[in-house]
Structures are given as C-alpha cells and as structure tokens.
Amino acid sequence: MPRTVSDIVQMKSKEKITVITGYDSTMATLCDSVDVILVGDSAGMVMLGYDDTRDVTMDDMIRFTTAVKNAKTDSLIVTDLPINSYENEDSAVTNSKKLVQAGAHAVKLEGGKEVSNIIRAVVDSGIPVMGHLGLLPQTAEKYSVQAKKSEDALDLIQDTKILEESGVFSIVLEMVTSDVTEIITKSVKIPTIGIGSGISCDGQVLVVHDMLGMFEKIKPKFAKRYLNLSEEIRNAVNSYVKDVKEKRFPEKEHTFSMEKDELEKLEKEIG
Ligand code: KIV
C-alpha cells in the first residue's frame, strides 16, 4: 500500500521511520523498502557535481522528482524546495504546486521561525510540509554540529515548537547533538527524522550515495556506509575497459547473427 503523510505521522513512537534520498528511477526502485524517498537538494552535490546545494534550481528538482515518481514505488515522495524558491508565501505555494505536479506528495524546506508564515501558506494550500532544522545546508557558512550550547539548544527547541504550530507533519534534524534531539523528539507530537542527530529521532535519513559508499568528496562521520560501491564500480569499469581493449568482449552470447541463408543471399548481392 502506498505510504501517506498520515501513515508517517502515526508511526511516531511506534515504529522507526526510514528515509533515503533518491533522485532517479533506478535507485528509487532499488530503495522501495523505505517509508519515504526524499528528493533532496543534495542532488546538487551527488548528481550534478556542485560544491553545495545552492546552485540547485526548481527545474532540477522537477526533473529528479519526475524520475522518482516514475519508479512507482509505495514510498512517500518528499521533495526539497531549492534555495530561492520560497522567498515569500506566493513563490513557495507556486513552486510547491509544481513539485506536487511532478510527483511529490509533500515538500521540505529549511528554516525556523523566519519561515513559519511560508510553511503555513503552503500547508493552507493543501500541500504537506516537512521542516528542516539544525544544520541548514542552503544557508550554512560551514557544516558543524548544532545545539552544543544551551542557548542554541533553547532556540532550536523553540523553533521546533513554532514549526509544529505552523503545520509541518515532521521535521528533519540535521547534525544536532543527540541530547537535544531526545528532548525535542519527546516534546513534539510530529515525527523527527534525524541525520547525524542520534538514535532518539523517530526516523533516520541518509543520502543514498553516502550509505552505498558511492560519494567520495565528503565522508560525514554520521553517514554509515553499508557498501563500498565506488570500489566495486571502479573494479567493474576497469574490467570492462580491459575486456574491450583485449578483444574479450563482446562474446558470442552478447552478439546477434543473421540466419545462414540470409547471410549467403546478402553476400551474393554485394559480390
Ligand atoms: O538534501 C538532502 O539530502 C537533505 C537531507 C540531508 C536531509 O536535505
């Protein structure tokens, strides 16, 4: 059965929520056991080769969302509103509608109290919103652990409450100290989804290229690598290159041939 936003909300405190990023149809199909596919703007780094997420456009996110939707899995699809696509209520609603048209069931946007009116406008337009607090890659000057000091933790706890009141159905907490994550998770009714924020969150999200060991530029401490695919891919490509250079590929099993009489006919025709 396809997951709904309400299914995800009801999983809080009952069953951990699994989220993986996805940007293309093949990977979304392979990840079909997760509850949520997040079409994250991390696509800018892992798919488009940018240094961060700030060059990602609406057109990019529409294309990635369409690809994930085409996988037709049961996972809920949540797509990031890219930077500069939610500067005011109108642009946020217009762009959220475009992402929903492309196949998203919900959108995610970064920020605390300063985006509460924007969240409310998108929710009022009928589109569910996932919040994103802690490290905010669209605006962060550097990637560092959040809420290490009690005053920062208090701000974050306050932002979480404001986002809940604004109508988000869940909140991503990125690189937040696990003590604060535990406090936040206990203090809100909506699920928290952690990335680098400890075990207490109601769910976990990882960038698929990180967890499969495919992305070599940055290796965050929190991103558990379940595979070392980059090594496997390199070995496979090297074997292919060697086979072609040494004329060992393609073999008979990879080759199509004409029927003998058709070949003879052709040979006669061309002399
Ligand atoms: O873009 C993304 O992949 C994200 C996750 C890191 C939560 O926002």
CB burial of residue 19 (10 Å; 0-12, 13-18, 19+): buried
Residue nearest ligand 1's atom 4 by CA? 40
> Ligand 1: distance of its center to the CA of 110 in Å?
10
Instruction: Give the residue extent of every domain in the chain.
Output: 5-227, 232-270
Pocket of ligand 1 contains residue 197 by CB under 6 Å: no
Helices (H) and strands (E) in the chain, counts: 11, 8
Pocket of ligand 1 contains residue 194 by CB under 6 Å: no
> Ligand 1: distance of its center to the CA of 207 in Å?
7
Average pLDDT over residues 220-237: 97
Average pLDDT over residues 209-228: 95
DSSP 8-class letter at 82: P
How confident is the model over 94-134, as pLDDT tens digits? 999 999 999 999 999 999 999 999 999 999 999 999 999 99
Residues 6+ apart with CB under 8 A from 66: 102, 103
Report the nearest atom of ligand 1 relative to the CA of 137.
Answer: 8
Q: Is the per-residue pLDDT at 26 higher than 90?
A: yes
Pocket of ligand 1 contains residue 82 by CB under 6 Å: no
Which pair of tokens denotes residue 167?
Answer: 């109508």
Pocket of ligand 1 contains residue 80 by CB under 6 Å: yes
- Between the alpha carbon of residue 268 and those of residues 35, 133, 259, 262, the distances in Å are 62, 74, 14, 10
Pocket of ligand 1 contains residue 110 by CB under 6 Å: no
How confident is the model over 233-244, as pLDDT tens digits? 999 999 999 999
Is 246 assigned a catalytic role? no
Long-range contacts of 230-235 (CB under 8 A, 24+ apart): none
Give domain 5-227's CATH architecture: Alpha-Beta Barrel (3.20)
How confident is the model over 181-198, as pLDDT tens digits? 999 999 999 999 999 999
> Ligand 1: distance of its center to the CA of 268 in Å?
63
How confident is the model over 130-181, as pLDDT tens digits? 999 999 999 999 999 999 999 999 999 999 999 999 999 999 999 999 999 9
Pocket of ligand 1 contains residue 40 by CB under 6 Å: yes
Ligand 1: which of 31, 207, 218 to mutate, most ligand atoms within 8 Å of CB? 207
Question: Which pLDDT value is given to residue 42?
Answer: 98
Pocket of ligand 1 contains residue 195 by CB under 6 Å: yes
Which pair of tokens denotes residue 264?
Answer: 């003879």
How confident is the model over 247-258, as pLDDT tens digits? 999 999 999 999
Question: Which pLDDT value is given to residue 271?
Answer: 85
Question: Which pLDDT value is given to residue 13?
Answer: 87
CB burial of residue 167 (10 Å; 0-12, 13-18, 19+): middle
Which pair of tokens denotes residue 254?
Answer: 């990879």
Report the nearest atom of ligand 1 relative to the CA of 193.
Answer: 7
How confident is the model over 27-38, as pLDDT tens digits? 999 999 999 999
- Among 174, 216, 231, 232, the active-site one is 174
Dist. CA 228–CA 5, nearest whole Å: 33
Residue nearest ligand 1's atom 8 by CA? 40
Pocket of ligand 1 contains residue 73 by CB under 6 Å: no
Question: Which pLDDT value is given to residue 4?
Answer: 98
